[in-house]
């Protein structure tokens, strides 16, 4: 009886304390505003512009010009692409931002920042749904280096994260139809939204095990989602007959149908790359501490004999990553909020278990330790960004590269080059070098490809020479290097250099070497004699 009264008195005291926080909402709003403005100002400073951002911007640009979602990138004509409806929502929002803020990488990153801010608010609400303190956990997410990187990167990750948090939050309420609708909408952002379906299903299974949800609702969720997905495929097939078969073939070419042993090897290699910071063209931050925390969290039920929402969600995401078979390193973002959730649940569970025996001062000391940990995470975030700058002693900005190229390229120039220079020319008059990787399969000679498209300028980065020398390690960046000999022979025989300039960050896209040496970019003009010979 006494124990019950003490617990009730404690609950009443906490409720009264929470009701007398008139400044909590204004302080939260100001904090979020400052966070937004700081990231808004530094959007283009960190990280370097990646060709993925320009690729996605090109898709939105093509859709805006055609007033249709059933288009592919104009700069890929031999590189295999399949028009599909799986990005309709993302492309629509991209188009809106590009229309309002200009056809720039900044607009792409602003879209990511916007959904990053929404993700912060959604995560705070998710924690409140579980009756957990949310101030420190939300700050931990805000200063998680993977999160900061994602909100500065013009890709879909922050949008997928937002839909994931909202879908899981609606699952906590016991809903079935709404999570299915949210997952369906998220497929319009990226097919990787399969991860959300896995996380939601896993959380539902935990609820079923706790007898908080009937088992049949899991089947309802799967059935509703399958129905929506089939409707999307049906609409897509009406607009583009055979698109799904082509999409599956494209996925197979990327390794999505790997054998189980191969899939297992790739799954462990994915985590090894994250731990060792092997990112290819992606800048991987130092997240060892987060990966170790995640591993300990997933192993903790072996000792505590207790499963939480964080365990269920993480298990669903990890299982989905395994079944996908091909994982981008940036997908690590999707586990970060749930590692934070798991740590929060562990701390709060310990307090609830022992609150009758732990003195108030000891509990205060525990939260002081948590605050110190948060301070360490904030330092860890800024240390990563500082290290990122120091590891690139040679720096020439993206805007400088674009300005240098524009100084020698006519406004109507038709150009063949690497995608990261596309902003220097008219997007509709640009061809990506990766098309050349399919010359042999298309039975087209290099000279014919250039002549048929009336290409007059080539833009070549030093990285091509390096990749040629290091072959086959980095061949995949240009599909293959089978055409390199023919290309360099053509450059020597039928072009003349018109500009060579230092471009240490963008003339070398391999993250480990970018900015570490004064790499150069050269613009070549195809000689008039090349076209005169053809005319004769």
> Cα angle vertex 210, ends 204, 214, to 5°?
55
User: Structure tokens of 255?
Assistant: 């390794």
pLDDT for the residue numbered 365 = 56
Calpha distance 283→509 (Å, rounded): 10
pTM above 0.85, yes or no: yes
**Residue with the two structure tokens 């562990």:** 346
Q: Which residues contact 295 (CB under 8 A, 6 or more apart)?
A: none
At 496, is the secondary structure helix, strand, or coil? strand
Calpha distance 53→64 (Å, rounded): 17
3-state secondary structure 41-95: HCCCCCCCCCHHHHHHHHHHHHHHHHCCCCCCCCCCCCCCCCCCCCCHHHHHHHH
Please check whether residue 293 is in contact with residue 110, taking contact to mean a CB–CB distance below 8 angstroms: no
Q: Which residues contact 74 (CB under 8 A, 6 or more apart)?
A: 58, 61, 62, 427, 428, 430
Calpha distance 444→438 (Å, rounded): 9
pLDDT for the residue numbered 369 = 67
Nearest of 342, 115, 315, 317 to residue 197 by alpha carbon: 317
Nearest of 118, 157, 123 to residue 138 by alpha carbon: 123
Helices (H), 79-193: 88-101, 105-129, 135-142, 145-151, 157-172, 177-187
pLDDT for the residue numbered 373 = 77
Chain-centroid distance of CA 12 in Å reads 44
pLDDT for the residue numbered 247 = 67
pLDDT for the residue numbered 359 = 46
User: Structure tokens of 473?
Assistant: 């390690």
At 500, is the secondary structure helix, strand, or coil? strand
> Cα angle vertex 168, ends 94, 322, to 5°?
80
Looking at residue 153, what DSSP letter applies? S
Nearest of 119, 198, 187 to residue 151 by alpha carbon: 119
- Report strand pairing: 495-502 vs 520-526: antiparallel
Please check whether residue 392 is in contact with residue 504, taking contact to mean a CB–CB distance below 8 angstroms: yes
User: Structure tokens of 189?
Assistant: 């952002």
Please check whether residue 54 is in contact with residue 73, taking contact to mean a CB–CB distance below 8 angstroms: no
pLDDT digits (tens), the chain, 536 positions: 444 554 555 555 555 445 445 566 777 888 899 999 999 999 998 899 999 999 999 999 988 888 887 788 889 989 888 777 778 889 999 999 999 999 999 999 999 999 999 999 999 999 999 988 888 899 999 999 999 999 999 999 999 999 999 999 999 999 999 999 999 999 889 877 889 999 999 999 999 999 999 999 999 999 999 998 888 888 777 767 776 666 666 666 665 666 777 788 888 888 888 888 887 888 888 889 899 999 999 998 888 888 999 999 999 999 998 888 767 788 899 999 999 999 988 887 655 544 444 444 455 555 666 677 778 888 888 888 888 888 888 888 899 999 999 999 998 999 999 999 999 999 999 999 999 999 998 999 999 999 999 999 999 999 999 999 988 889 989 999 999 999 999 999 999 999 999 999 999 999 889 999 999 999 999 998 888 776 55
pLDDT for the residue numbered 12 = 55
pLDDT for the residue numbered 309 = 93
Helices (H), 407-496: 439-442, 446-452, 463-470, 484-494
Terminal-residue alpha carbon distance, the chain:
104
Strand partners, 431: 416
Calpha distance 153→113 (Å, rounded): 8
pLDDT for the residue numbered 385 = 87
pLDDT for the residue numbered 23 = 61
Nearest of 513, 515, 506, 501 to residue 394 by alpha carbon: 515
């Amino acid at each position: 009886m006494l124990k019950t009264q003490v617990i009730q008195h404690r609950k009443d005291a906490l409720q009264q304390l929470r009701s007398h926080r008139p400044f909590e909402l204004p302080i939260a709003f100001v904090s979020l505003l400052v966070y937004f403005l700081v990231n808004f100002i530094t959007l283009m400073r960190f990280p370097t512009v990646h060709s993925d951002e320009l690729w996605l911007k090109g898709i939105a640009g093509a859709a805006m010009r055609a007033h249709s979602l059933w288009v592919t990138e104009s700069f890929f004509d031999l590189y295999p692409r399949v028009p599909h409806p799986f990005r309709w929502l993302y492309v629509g929002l991209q188009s809106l931002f590009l229309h309002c803020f200009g056809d720039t990488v900044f607009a792409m990153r602003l879209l990511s920042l916007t959904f990053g801010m929404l993700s912060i608010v959604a995560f705070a609400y998710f924690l409140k749904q579980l009756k957990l303190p949310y101030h420190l956990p939300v700050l931990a997410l805000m200063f998680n280096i993977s999160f900061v990187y994602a909100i500065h990167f013009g890709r879909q990750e922050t949008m997928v994260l937002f839909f994931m948090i909202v879908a899981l939050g609606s699952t906590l309420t016991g809903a079935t139809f709404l999570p299915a609708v949210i997952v369906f909408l998220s497929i319009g952002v990226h097919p990787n939204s399969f991860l959300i379906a896995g996380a939601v299903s896993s959380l539902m299974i935990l609820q079923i095990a706790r007898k908080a949800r009937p088992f049949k609702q899991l089947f309802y969720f799967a059935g509703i989602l399958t129905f929506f997905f089939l409707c999307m495929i049906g609409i897509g097939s009406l607009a583009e007959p055979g698109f799904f078969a082509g999409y599956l073939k494209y996925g197979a070419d990327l390794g999505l149908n790997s054998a189980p042993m191969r899939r297992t090897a790739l799954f462990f290699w994915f985590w090894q790359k994250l731990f060792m910071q092997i990112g290819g063209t992606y800048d991987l931050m130092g997240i060892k501490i987060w990966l170790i925390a995640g591993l300990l969290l997933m192993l903790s039920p072996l000792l505590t004999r207790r499963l939480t929402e964080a365990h269920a969600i993480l298990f669903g995401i990890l299982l989905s990553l395994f079944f996908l078979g091909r994982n981008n390193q940036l997908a690590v973002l999707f586990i970060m909020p749930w590692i934070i959730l798991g740590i929060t649940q562990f701390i709060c569970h310990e307090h609830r278990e022992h609150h009758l025996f732990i003195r108030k001062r000891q509990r205060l000391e525990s939260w002081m330790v948590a605050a110190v940990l948060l301070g360490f995470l904030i330092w860890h975030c800024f240390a990563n960004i500082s290290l990122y700058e120091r590891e690139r002693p040679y720096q020439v900005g993206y805007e400088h590269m674009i300005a240098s190229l524009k100084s020698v390229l006519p406004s109507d120039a038709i150009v063949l080059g690497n995608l990261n220079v596309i902003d220097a020319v008219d997007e509709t008059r640009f061809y990506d070098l990766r098309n050349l990787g399919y010359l042999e399969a298309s039975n087209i000679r290099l000279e014919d490809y250039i002549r048929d498209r009336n290409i007059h300028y080539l833009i070549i980065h030093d990285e091509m020479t390096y990749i040629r020398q290091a072959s086959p390690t980095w061949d995949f960046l240009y599909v293959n290097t089978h055409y390199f000999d023919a290309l360099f022979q053509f450059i020597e025989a039928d072009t003349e250099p018109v500009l060579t300039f230092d471009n240490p960050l963008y003339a070398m896209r391999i993250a480990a070497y970018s900015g570490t040496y004064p790499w150069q970019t050269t613009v070549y003009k195809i000689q008039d004699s090349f076209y005169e010979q053809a005319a004769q």
